[in-house]
Structure 1
Amino acid sequence: MIRQLFAIVLIYASILVAVSAVKFELPAVPSSRVEESKRCISQYVPRDTTVLLTGKIGQGYNQVAGFEIKDNNDQPNVYGRHSKYTGEFRNAFDTRSDGVVSICFTNQLQEGFNEAPQYTRTIELEFNVGAEALDLKQIASSEKLGPLEIELRRLESIVKSIVGQMDYLKRREERMRDTNESTNERVKWFSLLSLFTLISLGVWQILYLRSFFRRKRLID
């Protein structure tokens, strides 16, 4: 059991370490095309999970870059927004609901300049979620932890993330089960109603035809 748990922790840790470090070029476009040309990086994140977004927006001549961080709920939670930004950024927050968290970058070309290949900005982004979003160096310096204690703290955070994910999956499974049971109950009653309606209609047709044929003296 311990070996299995340790294996799960290692697998989960490897997944988290492989998270999202991306780098791309974002062309500058006129103001009329900013929305359609924005570039978004998204990841599903459960509720009450720490997210750390770090990155860098490179220099760009006559370009205005910005970004917005929000989720995809009906009323989106906005976790950060900058309309003009250059240089390194760091944004940490706890999610308020289950959903897909996205960071969208825009790069607008200033008035008087025509769109051209040389007008681009380099965007670097690292998207960390859960245990990987913790600043262990800061924790180590403030609490004076050794290397082994830091690693144990990191594993503890990963295990907590796994437990949180399992609880979330359990809640989803319970909701799906309730939905299935409710649907089955409705289908059952609808089927019984349909069967009763068909039987009643069949009986009425037999009685009506029997009465009709008797009036016509076709049967006794």
Structure 2
Amino acid sequence: MIQRRTVSVLLILGFLSSVVQSIRFDLQSGHTKCIAEDIKSNSMTVGKYSIVNPNEGQPLPESHNITVKVTSSYGNNYHHGDHVASGQFAFQAVEAGDYMACFWAVDHKPPTTITVDFDWKTGVAAKDWSNVAKKGSVDLMELELKKMQETVSSIHEEMFYLRSREEEMQELNATTHSRMAWLSFLSLVVCLLVAGLQLWHLKTFFEKKKII
């Protein structure tokens, strides 16, 4: 029974850890590509990126350099790498929202295609569990249980965060609908006033012409 529970825990953890994957994408010279991540406030996030060498065993071509910038939705700059082949960043999010990692390749003639490996982890996945194991002197099973506990807590917090975002969106929708209703009512009043004014103008015109 204990062995079955152990296997179940490891399978669940394996599934959760498989969600975190590296991204590989192509970037044309002179172009920019941005990747967004929705991060909660006070969440830890780490990322690393590197250019894939098209010629293994040889120096990286001079054209294969990129500029990387990580910013928050409020425009705060958290990382900036200028004409680099690789780099990494780590910070604790101060404000909740979409954080943007933008990669820009210098314009080059003839045009070149740069392949970039990018790994971005947030929350529990960003924690250095090897250091936790060393500092706490815990065994493998204990470490996996700690991972699972923090993962469940993270999911729980994420659910509350999504619920608050949903409430904000519902409040925004209600406000928008209320404003649209008032706008429709005002538009109707204006149309009725214009129609009444036109009828009065026509009636006055016909009376002057003694048509009616």
Q: Same fold (TM over 0.5)?
A: yes
**Pair 1:18–1:213, CA change in 2 (3 A):** closer
Task: For residue 123 of structure 1, report the CA deviation from its aligned partner.
Answer: 6.0
What SS does the aligned partner of 2:101 have? strand
Could you state the TM-score of these two structures normalised by the residue count of structure 1?
0.64
Gaps of 5+ in 2: 1-7
Q: What does residue 68 of structure 2 align with?
A: 68
1:51 aligns with 2:45: yes
What SS does the aligned partner of 2:211 have? coil
> Contact (CA 8 Å) 1:20, 1:125: kept in 2 or not?
no
> Contact (CA 8 Å) 2:39, 2:122: kept in 1 or not?
no
1:155 aligns with 2:148: yes
> Contact (CA 8 Å) 2:70, 2:80: kept in 1 or not?
yes
Q: Distance in 2 between matches of 1:73 and 1:79?
A: 14
Task: For residue 187 of structure 1, report the CA deviation from its aligned partner.
Answer: 1.4
Task: For residue 154 of structure 1, report the CA deviation from its aligned partner.
Answer: 0.6
Q: Distance in 1 between matches of 2:205 and 2:114?
A: 86
Q: What does residue 4 of structure 2 align with?
A: none
Q: Distance in 2 between matches of 1:204 and 1:25?
A: 64
**Pair 1:145–1:209, CA change in 2 (3 A):** same
Q: Distance in 1 between matches of 2:195 and 2:185?
A: 15
Structure 1 vs Structure 2 CA RMSD: 4.1
| Aligned length, in residue pairs | 195
Aligned equivalent of 1:185, options 175, 178, 186: 178
Could you state the TM-score of these two structures normalised by the residue count of structure 2?
0.66
> Contact (CA 8 Å) 1:60, 1:121: kept in 2 or not?
no
Q: Distance in 1 between matches of 2:118 and 2:193?
A: 68
Q: Distance in 2 between matches of 1:122 and 1:102?
A: 16
Q: Which amino acid aligns with 1:20?
A: Q
Gaps of 5+ in 1: 1-6, 28-32
Q: Distance in 2 between matches of 1:16 and 1:50?
A: 16
Aligned equivalent of 1:169, options 145, 153, 162: 162
Identity, in percent, stands at 22
Q: Distance in 2 between matches of 1:24 and 1:211?
A: 73
Task: For residue 84 of structure 1, report the CA deviation from its aligned partner.
Answer: 5.2
1:132 aligns with 2:131: no
Q: Distance in 2 between matches of 1:116 and 1:196?
A: 60
**Pair 1:149–1:107, CA change in 2 (3 A):** farther
**Pair 1:180–1:56, CA change in 2 (3 A):** closer
